[in-house]
Amino acid sequence: MRADIRNPVTSRIIDDHGIDTVVHAGVLSTPLEHGGRSVMKEINVIGSMQLLAACKKSPSVKNVIIKSTTAIYGASSKDPALFRESTQPGRLPTTGFAKDSNEVEGYVRNFARQRSDVRVTTLRFANAIGPEMVTPLTTYFELPIWPAVLGHDPRLQFIHEDDLVRAMHHAVIKDVGGTFNVAGAGTITLSQAARLAKRPLLRLPAQFFSPASGTLRRVGVVDLSREQLSLLKYGRLVDTSRARDLLGFTAEFSTRDTFEEFVAHRITKRAGRRGK
């Protein structure tokens, strides 16, 4: 059963149908597509609070699965080589999707303390891309020229959109609670990605990178948050061994495989259609 987390009758739906497993995958990352930042925050934070309140009141709920993001670790020059689930970010996210996700995880931890009888599983996904996925980052990768920060070549991890679904399904059927990083194996640098996509990098001094991205946002081209700009400067890598060893999940697509398929379907194929 699917339900809008903002719907006030969600609690009644859960009770009436005796729902035992709730999968929360409704945290949004694209404010321009959902009426702006205030609407996005209402859906992400207020909606999540309402859903968790409904789960708290329902005795039938025994499993709660949360789709979260590795963006909650932030991205800075002081980051460790790999973020583990227990690693505290050097700087908490202050804007957008990452900030919302961090707040939602706080509410989830509070819920887990209040309903210790419920299995709570939080999956922190690397940036998801694929043939059908549309996010600010995939929009950036489809630009004819990629703005980048001079002197930086960030290392990135991706999760294939199909692996994201597989991981969520795996978390539902696997009786293991806790928090898990999920990403495709390996890494890719921004310059390697640009070569695969046959896109030139426009390397800008750091002081000009954010204003240039702001211009793209204002004209509706791509809506990169402050946290995403930091990612494109510093990169971010996470340790996925906990998901492999405890949850028993390994992504089928590596980070490089994921990006190559994205290029084949979203860049090369579209370029071929335009050339006909």
**Predicted local distance difference test score (pLDDT) of residue 231:** 96
Return the pLDDT at 46.
82
pLDDT score of 37: 58
Measured distance CA(167)–CA(45) in Å, rounded? 23
Options 3.40.140.10, 2.40.160.60, 3.40.605.10, 3.40.50.720; CATH of 10-275? 3.40.50.720
pLDDT at 25: 86
DSSP 32: G
The pLDDT of residue 28: 64
Q: Give the span between the Cα atoms of 115 and 105, in whole angstroms.
A: 15
For 113, the token pair is: 């303390």
Rounded to whole angstroms, how far apart are CA atoms 206 and 223? 18
Per-residue pLDDT of the chain (276 residues; tens, 9 = 90+): 666 666 667 778 888 889 999 999 877 666 545 455 566 676 788 888 889 999 999 999 999 999 999 999 999 999 999 999 999 887 778 777 788 899 999 999 999 999 999 999 999 999 999 999 999 899 999 999 999 999 999 999 999 999 999 999 999 999 999 999 999 999 999 999 999 999 999 999 999 998 888 888 777 778 888 889 999 999 999 999 999 999 999 999 999 999 999 999 999 866 555 554
Classify residue 40 as exposed, middle or buried by CB count within 10 Å of its CB (0-12, 13-18, 19+): buried
pLDDT of residue 64: 98
Spans of all domains in the chain:
10-275
pLDDT at residue 44, rounded to an integer:
80
Three-state DSSP at 78 gives coil
| Euclidean distance between CA atoms 44 and 28, whole angstroms | 6
pTM summary value: 0.91
Q: Determine the pLDDT at residue 34.
A: 47
Which pLDDT belongs to residue 38?
Answer: 65
